[in-house]
C-alpha cells in the first residue's frame, strides 16, 4: 500500500487537526485501492452483515455530512438513514460502484476542508448533540478523525480477508 504522510506542514492546532483528518481520509482511499467491484460489496464477517468496504466508505461519507452539515451548520438532515433503517447508508452502498463512493467522499471532503479553513475552531455547532451539548468545530474534527481511524481498522481487516493485502 502507498505510504501516506501524517506529518503536518505546520504545527499550529488547525494544521495538526486537519492533517490528521486528511491522513485518515487518504488511508480510506489507500485501503480501497485495487479492490474489485465484487469484493467491495462482500460482507465477510458473519456477525456484521453490513460491513463491506463499500458500506464503510459510504458510512464515512454520510458521517461527515451529518457532523458538518446537520450538526455544525444546522441544516435539515437529508441523510439516507431512517428510524426503521438507521444503518441504511451501509445497506445501500452495495448498489453503487466503490469508485463512485470514493469520488463522492473526496468531493465532499474538499468542501468541508474549505468550511474548516474559513471557520474558527472554537465556533459552536448550531445543533445540540447528546444531552443538549453544543460541540465546537475542534471537537467535530477530533471526532471525525477518531471515527475514520476506527473504520480504517475495519477496512484493513476486510482487505486482508479479501485478498491478503496489508499495510499502513
Domains: count for the chain: 1
Q: What is the mean pLDDT of residues 147-152?
A: 98
In a domain, 5, yes or no: no
In a domain, 35, yes or no: yes
pLDDT digits (tens, 9 = 90+) for 43-72: 999 999 999 999 999 999 999 999 999 999
In a domain, 6, yes or no: no
Quickly state the pLDDT bin for 108 (edges 50, 70, 90).
Answer: very high
For residue 27, give its domain range: 13-163
CATH number, domain containing residue 47: 1.20.120.450
In a domain, 8, yes or no: no
Check pLDDT > 80 for residue 36.
Answer: yes
pLDDT digits (tens, 9 = 90+) for 115-139: 999 999 999 999 999 899 999 999 9
In a domain, 136, yes or no: yes
In a domain, 143, yes or no: yes
Quickly state the pLDDT bin for 6 (edges 50, 70, 90).
Answer: confident
In a domain, 4, yes or no: no
pLDDT for residue 120 = 98
In a domain, 147, yes or no: yes
In the predicted model, what is the mean pLDDT of the chain? 95
Q: Mapped to the 3 state alphabet, what secondary structure does the chain carry?
A: CCCCCCCCCCCCHHHHHHHHHHHHHHHHHHHHCCCCHHHHCCCCCCCCCCCCHHHHHHHHHHHHHHHHHHHHCCCCCCCCCCCCCCCHHHHHHHHCCHHHHHHHHHHHHHHHHHHHHCCCCCCECCCCECCCECCEHHHHHHHHHHHHHHHHHHHHHHHHHHHCCCCC
Amino acid at each position: 500500500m502507498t505510504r501516506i504522510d501524517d506529518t503536518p506542514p505546520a504545527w499550529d492546532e488547525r494544521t495538526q487537526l486537519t492533517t490528521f483528518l486528511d491522513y485518515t481520509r487518504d488511508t480510506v482511499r489507500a485501503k480501497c485501492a485495487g479492490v474489485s467491484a465484487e469484493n467491495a460489496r462482500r460482507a465477510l464477517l458473519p456477525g456484521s452483515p453490513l460491513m463491506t468496504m463499500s458500506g464503510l466508505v459510504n458510512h464515512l461519507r454520510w458521517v461527515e455530512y451529518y457532523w458538518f452539515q446537520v450538526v455544525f451548520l444546522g441544516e435539515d438532515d437529508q441523510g439516507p438513514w431512517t428510524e426503521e433503517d438507521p444503518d441504511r447508508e451501509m445497506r445501500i452502498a452495495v448498489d453503487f460502484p466503490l469508485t463512485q463512493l470514493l469520488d463522492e467522499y473526496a468531493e465532499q471532503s474538499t468542501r468541508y476542508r474549505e468550511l474548516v479553513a474559513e471557520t474558527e475552531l472554537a465556533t459552536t455547532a448550531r445543533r445540540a448533540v447528546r444531552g443538549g451539548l453544543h460541540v465546537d468545530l475542534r471537537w467535530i474534527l477530533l471526532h471525525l478523525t477518531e471515527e475514520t481511524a476506527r473504520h480504517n481498522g475495519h477496512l484493513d481487516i476486510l482487505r486482508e480477508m479479501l485478498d491478503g493485502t496489508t499495510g499502513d
